[in-house]
């Protein structure tokens, strides 16, 4: 079991920095510093401290799945045959190898895992389902849910 990390004591400037980075991480440190009412060097030190403390875990570019040819997205609920630790480890090791699986969550409730999967079209999803998802070790039940439209995309964590 993982130890719970102590909450960090973030002040208003830290919150502004984090909000700005979540909004657009391509801003210069000087631009962020102005919004956080800090000098550029103080802002840079704070960003480095937030990275070192694990609050900032990385920077990514958000890509358009549609522009890249992925026109459908599915949520897939999966159940495993056993709740043994080894079964979870084997499943998780193999699901990491499927590039169309964007996210995988171990969940509580009726199913064991929830996947977010992209595909070019329904025929492509059928291929992914048949050749990859259904062949994952220990899977006994699969429920696919077609996402019609994202109503509220992830824009960052609430900080206030």
- Per CATH, the architecture of 12-52 is what? Orthogonal Bundle (1.10)
Where do the CATH 3.30.70.920 domains begin and end in the chain? 72-147
Lowest mean pLDDT among 2-16, 19-33, 115-129, 130-144: 2-16
> Per-residue confidence at 9, pLDDT binned at 50, 70, 90?
confident
- Give the global pTM: 0.86
1 pLDDT above the threshold of 90: no
Q: Chain-wide mean pLDDT for the chain?
A: 95
pLDDT digits (tens, 9 = 90+) for 97-107: 999 999 999 99
Q: Which among 106, 135, 100, 138 has a CA at the least distance from the CA of 119?
A: 100
- Neighbouring C-beta atoms of residue 74, cutoff 10 Å: 19
Domain 72-147 has CATH 3.30.428.10: no
Where do the CATH 1.10.10.10 domains begin and end in the chain? 12-52
């Amino acid at each position: 079991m993982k130890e719970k990390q102590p909450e960090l004591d973030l002040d208003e400037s830290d919150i502004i920095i984090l909000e700005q980075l979540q909004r657009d991480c391509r801003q210069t440190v000087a631009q962020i510093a102005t919004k956080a009412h800090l000098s550029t060097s103080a802002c840079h030190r704070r960003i480095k401290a937030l990275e070192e403390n694990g609050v900032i875990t990385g920077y990514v570019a958000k890509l358009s799945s549609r522009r890249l040819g992925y026109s459908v997205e599915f949520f897939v609920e999966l159940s495993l045959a056993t709740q043994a630790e080894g079964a979870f480890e084997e499943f998780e090791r193999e699901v990491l190898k499927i590039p169309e699986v964007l996210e995988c969550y171990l969940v509580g409730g009726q199913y064991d895992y929830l996947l977010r999967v992209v595909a070019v079209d329904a025929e492509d999803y059928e291929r992914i389902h048949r050749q990859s998802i259904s062949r994952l070790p220990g899977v006994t039940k699969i429920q696919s849910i077609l996402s019609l439209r994202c109503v509220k995309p992830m824009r960052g964590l609430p900080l206030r």
